[in-house]
Amino acid sequence: MSVAAMSEAGKTGATSIPVVNDLSITLLPGRQSSSLPGLHEAIDAERLGFKRAWLPERYNVKEAGVLLGAMGAVTSRIPLGPGPLSISSRPPIVIASIAATFQSLFGERFMLGLGRSNALWLQGHGFTEQGYRATIDRARIMKQLWAGEVVDYDGPAGTYRRLTMIDRPEGLSPPPVVFFHLGGPAASRAAADPVWDEIALCNLVSAEAMAESIDITKAEAERQGRDPDSLHFIAPVTTAPDMDELETRAMVAARIVIGIQLPGMGDRLIELNGWDRDVVEDIRNHPQFADMNRALIDHSFHRTGLLGPAELVPERWMRHSAAIGSSEEVVAKLREFKAAGAHEVDLYGSTPAQNVRVIELWRTTADSKSEAGQHV
């Protein structure tokens, strides 16, 4: 089906389901061989009433500017944005232009998720992981550009002289800028900077670890003179509702296998969740990885090819850091992240169609209210 046909189908198939104001979803996560399923997922996410949808960019068939534009074209209401974009992947004016172009086409439906990324993940790309100061400064430069300011800057984010956006969308508010981070103390303190409109943690971080990160961010915000209650926290949670054991292990355990082998980032994930180092080493030293010819497991194997190592992941790790089991159990687990301080939960891993029952149950619970006046 062409994008034009999808656009017509998506818009004529819209219903009056109320929008759930604290439940979003990540579209097309992980490795993909085609972008087209993402368009169907965007249509489904809008139809089901998710608040908004995120796209985790990869440098293959998931380039954010192109794919988010196509998603915007086949939908009419749902906000969309990268979740996250590596902040060094493009100069600030290019990222600012992606946001401005999207909003000029589709209105105030864009949100900009940014992260520092990981040096090994970006190895050989021509750009690399950024420090916290550079990350904050780059985000601030983008906001200055949207405001029509002329930027003169020389610092950790680079050197810019008389940088400005000559033309900008008229009558539109700039998009919210969201900081995605893993949840360690330094990142949690950086998240308190006023440049960030919202804060999202990494998926596979437990509710307890997220609560600790939120406490650090709020304390740092107060120290900086920022109202801690003004902060908006998002909890991405990998969900595997009503799936059998094999599907669940491919959805959750395989992602844990991928996550724990990332240098630095993997060790932080292990530390935050309190996972047993002996078990971690057994997984890392699985015979399947002995002859791996790439630095990253994720670049050598799809999740479904990691079921052997995934068998070593304890079920308690999956239940601790993700939402698995029946839809009722998944919703109960998601509520733990709300109780830990998240204002919004972002479903990760499974598709909108796989979460139909989850959003139905979520909508009927007492503290999940629909946005007044907003309908799909």
- Domains of the chain, earliest start first: 3-242+326-367 (3.20.20.30)
Would you say residue 277 has pLDDT above 90? yes
Q: Pull the structure tokens for residue 336.
A: 């733990």
Instruction: Choose between 70 and 126: higher pLDDT.
Output: 70
The chain-wide mean pLDDT, for the chain, equals 93
Q: Check if the beta carbon of residue 235 is closer than 8 Å to that of residue 210.
A: yes
Mean pLDDT score, 261-265: 84
- How much of the chain exceeds pLDDT 70, in percent? 92
Instruction: Choose between 126 and 144: higher pLDDT.
Output: 144
Mean pLDDT score, 101-130: 91
Mean pLDDT score, 284-312: 89
In this prediction, residue 121 carries a pLDDT of 74
Q: Check if the beta carbon of residue 146 is closer than 8 Å to that of residue 96.
A: yes
pTM above 0.85, yes or no: yes
Decide: residue 154, CB within 10 A, 0-12 exposed, 13-18 middle, 19+ buried.
exposed
Q: In b/e form, how buried is each residue of 311-339, taking b as 16+ CB within 10 angstroms?
A: eebeeebbebbbbbbebeebbebbbbbbe
Within 10 Å of residue 299's Cβ, how many Cβ atoms? Answer: 12
Q: Pull the structure tokens for residue 173.
A: 């508010």
Poorest-pLDDT segment among 15-24, 174-183, 208-217, 280-289: 15-24
Decide the pairing of beta strands 112-115 and 151-155.
unpaired
pLDDT band at residue 369 under the 50/70/90 scheme: very low
Listed ranges 13-22, 113-122, 281-290; the one with the highest mean pLDDT: 281-290
Would you say residue 111 has pLDDT above 50? yes
Mean pLDDT score, 47-57: 98
Within 10 Å of residue 129's Cβ, how many Cβ atoms? Answer: 19
In this prediction, residue 373 carries a pLDDT of 33
pLDDT band at residue 12 under the 50/70/90 scheme: low
Would you say residue 77 has pLDDT above 60? yes
In this prediction, residue 127 carries a pLDDT of 84
pLDDT band at residue 252 under the 50/70/90 scheme: very high
